[in-house]
Structure 1
Amino acid sequence: MVSLYISGPSWAHRLPAAVKLVFLCLITLLLFPLDQWWQQAIGLAAVLGFYGSLGKKGLKALKVLKNLLWMLSFIFLIHLAFTSWEDGIVISLRLVTLVLLANFLSITTKMDDLMDAIEPLFRPLSVFGVTSKKIALAVALVIRFVPMLMAVFMSLQEAYRARTGKGSSMRLLAPFVIHALKLADEVAEALTARGGADGYENTASR
């Protein structure tokens, strides 16, 4: 299975996956009402501290930020043109913080632990014949895919920079989509090898 998990004995690894998910939701809810750039900067600094607490591996995982540079630049320019530079900075800082939080969850939480934390939320749907394990698997894969796809884009961006000396280009979108589809096929093949979603459910329950 696709995973960005980094093994380690840190405090974040010891925290239950459910606690980390609740923390992620709470931080998201707290960040959105804040409309001052320094408030968002404090939140970002705290998240960067989380990565620093993991040591060299945690700091290395911050390379995911390279994927956001072109997007952040675009967002900032849009707000600079139509609203204000303060709004652009606030939104950019908020986006960076939330992406880093999601990535932090991925690198410190195993897939099975993540599924076990998510699955109880969907158990009430069993009344309608919905398998909660399948939904938990889908949600867990989404959480995994976001930072993974960002890592794919970063590798394409670095290769493009090495060839042309330019930072980024719209030409990267086509190979990025191809890589994303290929990654989806690999995950689908892995699930098929386990007997589909039902097979993964049976394997995870052992």
Structure 2
Amino acid sequence: MLSLTSEVRTPWHGVSARAKLLGLLAATVAAFWLATPAQALAFAALVAGMHLPGGARFARQGARMLWPLWPFVAVILIWHAVTGAFAQGVVIVARMVALVGLANLVTMTTRLQDILAQVDAALALIRLPARARTRLALAVALVIRFTPVLMQRGSALAQAWRARSARRPGWRLVLPFALSAIDDAEQVAEALRARSGGL
């Protein structure tokens, strides 16, 4: 499994996980008050600028992590262009890209253990039992760890298809991708049962 944490040091690495997560929460709420394309694009530009203190390599890494969003961006913009609400589509896309970019910035500059500690602390506030908090924290850890793995798996399947066929893969990759993900899940489940004694 891979980590999303960047090896490139930035000033954001020195900010506490709690502050970054609270900032992400506040930005998410505030983003829905952005009503015009100019406001939404300015917000996206601000998020892009927040990657710059890490240098060009860090900024490129953040940009690469946004690449999987392009199908959603295309569908949203085309749909809103057809329905005559292109400005609204721009607002939605800018919000989405900015918030995903901001979430990526948090995970790229925060250790997984620190994120999980904050998740556990938040769950403790609603008086969840320690066993339930542990399971939820583990679920969050698996989602974060497996996100880049599944992205790479999908990219590898697409490249393998293009090497063998001139047709676009489209829906044909859904089944092998799903079977691969299920196989990984079964292996991880077996490993967890072997190590945790039925956590």
TM-score under structure 1 length normalisation? 0.78
Residue type of the partner of 1:112? Q
In 2, Cα distance between equivalents of 1:168 and 1:31: 35
Q: CA deviation at 1:58?
A: 3.5
Distance (Å, rounded) in 1 between the aligned partners of 2:168 and 2:54: 29
- Equivalent AA in structure 1 for residue 44 of structure 2: L
Distance 1:81 1:145, change over 3 A: farther
CA distances 1:106-128 after superposition (whole Å, capped 9, x unpaired) = 22111111111111111145466
AA matched with 2:116 = M
User: Structure 1's 112 and 82: CA in aligned 2 closer, same or farther, altered over 3 A?
Assistant: same
Hey, what's the Cα distance between the residues in 1 that align with 2:198 and 2:18? 22
Identity between Structure 1 and Structure 2 (%):
33
Q: Given the two structures, how large is their TM-score scaled by the length of structure 2?
A: 0.80
- Counterpart CA distance in 2 for 1:100 and 1:165 is 33
Task: Confirm or deny that 1:26 pairs with 2:31.
Answer: no
CA RMSD, Structure 1 to Structure 2 (Å): 2.9
5+ long unaligned stretches in structure 1: 199-206
CA distance in 2, matches of 1:184, 1:29: 33
SS in 2 for 1:120: helix
Partner of 1:40: 40
For CA contacts below 8 A with separation 6 or more, give which structure has more relative contact order.
2
Matches within 5 A, 1:79-158: 79-82=80-83, 84-126=85-127, 130-146=131-147, 149-157=150-158
Name the SS of the counterpart of 2:5 in structure 1: coil
Match of 2:73 in 1: 72
